[in-house]
Amino acid sequence: MLKFMLIILSFDQRVKTNGTFDRLFEITWGDDHANILEDGELLTLSLDQRSGSGLRSKNEYLFGKIDMQLKLVKGNSAGTVTAYYLSSEGDFHDEIDFEFLGNTSGEPYTLSTNVYSQGKGDREQLFFLWFDPTADFHTYTVIWNPQRILFYVDDIPIREFANNEAIGVLFLNTQPMRLHSSIWNAEEWATRGGLVKTDWSRAQFVASYKNFSADACIWSTLSGSSCPLNSTTRPWYREKLNTAATRKLKWAQKYHQVYNYCTDTLRFPNGLAPECKFA
């Protein structure tokens, strides 16, 4: 009987470590606040007054299409931030951000997007999501190629950051990045500029993840990119918005965008960023 139980336990462990989140990610902080479930195909990150939690991909990527399905914190999530982003290392890092800013019950979640190139950010665009992101899983996608970065929510593009190196704008094309996610307390600024604080009586706050997909070029310091020279045949490599997608982008920006750095002359009195002339 004991031998049979040991075999079962060994088999269960083997199945678990074959799951997506076991194989492709590592918990970076808050170990006891992160759980990998359903044979490695579901991940939860949680936050309470003691700790938040975070993870990152084991692989680094240099261009690709990255998808993840998230279900955000239910109820009063004021003061919390669930971050989902690609980032390189160092002071002059590159970064592509989705940040979900918590709310009081019944108010829309705010999705903050940002792009850092070689350490320079301040490119926020904010949106009110047009659905309840706590009721079910939704897909958040980054398409990153040498010409542009596209942000998608489900099948709707909400933002495009184009390569404008020709006018001196640094683009994200030299630094490989890992995918990161975390949940943490940002009550000093996250909800109504910090006016609404975290209600710790509602902890634990839990964000859930599934269906990660990376059709991307994996980077190795020893061998460089996993993509062959003919990687331009991959659909995302030259992806741009067609007419239908452009209509969706304009819809999202007209009806759901609540802040755009390219229109904020009070914050940038010395002039808007050069790429804003094309916005």
Residues designated catalytic? 95, 99
244 Cβ partners below 8 Å, 6+ apart? Answer: none
Q: Which DSSP state fits 117?
A: B
Helix (H) or strand (E) holding 9: helix 2-17
| Phi, psi angle pair for 187, to nearest 5° | -65, -15
Q: Extract the tokens encoding 267.
A: 């914050």
Provide the b/e sequence for 200-232 (b: ≥16 CB within 10 Å). eebeebbbbbbebebebbbbeeeeebebeeeee
Residue 88: CB atoms within 10 A of its CB come to 20
User: Which burial class, exposed, middle or buried, applies to 24 when counting CB atoms under 10 A from its CB (0-12, 13-18, 19+)?
Assistant: middle
Q: Which of 189, 152, 161, 191 is nearest to 73 (CA)?
A: 191
Q: Extract the tokens encoding 243.
A: 């007419």
